[in-house]
Amino acid sequence: MMELINVSKRFIARREDLLALSGINMRVGDGEFVCVVGPSGCGKSTIIRIINDIIKPSSGRVVVDGFTYEKNAPIPHKLIRRMGFIFQIPNLYPWLTVRENIRLPLDIFGLRGQKWMNHADFLIEKAGLSSCADQYPGSLSQGMSQRAGVVRAMVHKPDILLMDEPFGALDERTRERMDFELLDIWRENGMSVVFITHNIGEAVLLAQRIYIMATAPGRIIDTLRVDLKKRDMSSFEDARFEEYSSRINNAIGNILLEKAV
Ligand SMILES: Nc1ncnc2c1ncn2[C@@H]1O[C@H](COP(=O)(O)OP(=O)(O)OP(=O)(O)O)[C@@H](O)[C@H]1O
Ligand SMILES: [Mg+2]
């Protein structure tokens, strides 16, 4: 469904030339849950921004559902409509209520009518946000804001969720709870997910496949298929969970060593 083929991105800032991404090859199948793990600055957010067409790659190709992104033109509105983007910080508008924030994509994509309003309310209810839906974001806890951000990204029923370290700022237990909620949503809706994280355990818990990245230049150093019997609290006891985690740790550790030499 989605493919990055030999994608590179060069940034030129203050006369410095930075190869942020080099030769990225990545595939995300229909309904597949893919994680990207790597150290700070390896280009994870840049990948998401390229897929979302916020920035253009310097070279290489991006193909989503058979459509190849053009160098000098934005991707069609109907393709953007198929994506939901969840930021590291929820970025809710403080002057809109939680419900208005969540309905915003419906306005943007011209999805009008009672059916869509009901769908928004259904998700608000499901995310446990009913009691604060008519409040302003300023009064929400971090976990609730983040949940509102997730609901907002999904309200227009995207086929592809792009999640850039969505739960990175949350405490461990809240993060875990959000991970399990996300897994439930994914099982029910079957969308494709690209999920970025620093957290190796989170990647192993969530992903069917993990891309492991390294810095300078940002590149993929390994791909890992994760095959856990179950994805719930018992996963942490699965011997393979530890195995996968240490394989990622070793790959990333090796790179850190390489850099130190
Ligand atoms: N617009 C830009 N102009 C210049 N350099 C940029 C720009 N955006 C990103 N970079 C640089 O590209 C590299 C990759 O950035 P990116 O934000 O993709 O990393 P990341 O893996 O998401 O890091 P983090 O884990 O800290 O979020 C960094 O060195 C960053 O400074
Ligand atoms: Mg980032």
Name the architecture of domain 2-82+158-260. Answer: 3-Layer(aba) Sandwich (3.40)
Q: How confident is the model at residue 257 (pLDDT cuts 50, 70, 90)?
A: low
Q: Which atom of ligand 1 sits closest to the CA of residue 13? A: 4
Q: What are phi and psi of 174, to 5 degrees?
A: -65, -40
Comparing 130-134, 194-198, 234-238, 256-260, which segment has the lowest mean pLDDT? Answer: 256-260
Q: What are phi and psi of 161, to 5 degrees?
A: -105, 125
**Rounded Cα gap, residues 58 and 21, in angstroms:** 9
Instruction: Say how many Å lie between the CA of residue 51 and the centre of ligand 2.
Output: 14
- Of all ligands present, the nearest one to the C-alpha of 40 is 1
**Rounded Cα gap, residues 213 and 24, in angstroms:** 10
Pair of tokens at residue 137: 């974001």
**Rounded Cα gap, residues 233 and 242, in angstroms:** 14
- Measured by CA distance, the residue closest to atom 28 of ligand 1 is 41
Q: What is the pLDDT of residue 256?
A: 61
Segment 121-130, tens digit of pLDDT:
999 998 889 9
* pTM of the full structure: 0.92
Among 9, 45, 50, 162, which residue has the most ligand 1 atoms within 8 Å of its CB, making it the best to mutate? 45
- Domain ranges within the chain, ordered by starting residue: 2-82+158-260, 93-157
Q: What is the pLDDT of residue 232?
A: 85
Instruction: Say how many Å lie between the CA of residue 115 and the centre of ligand 2.
Output: 35
Segment 150-194, tens digit of pLDDT:
999 999 999 999 999 998 888 888 889 889 989 988 998 899 999
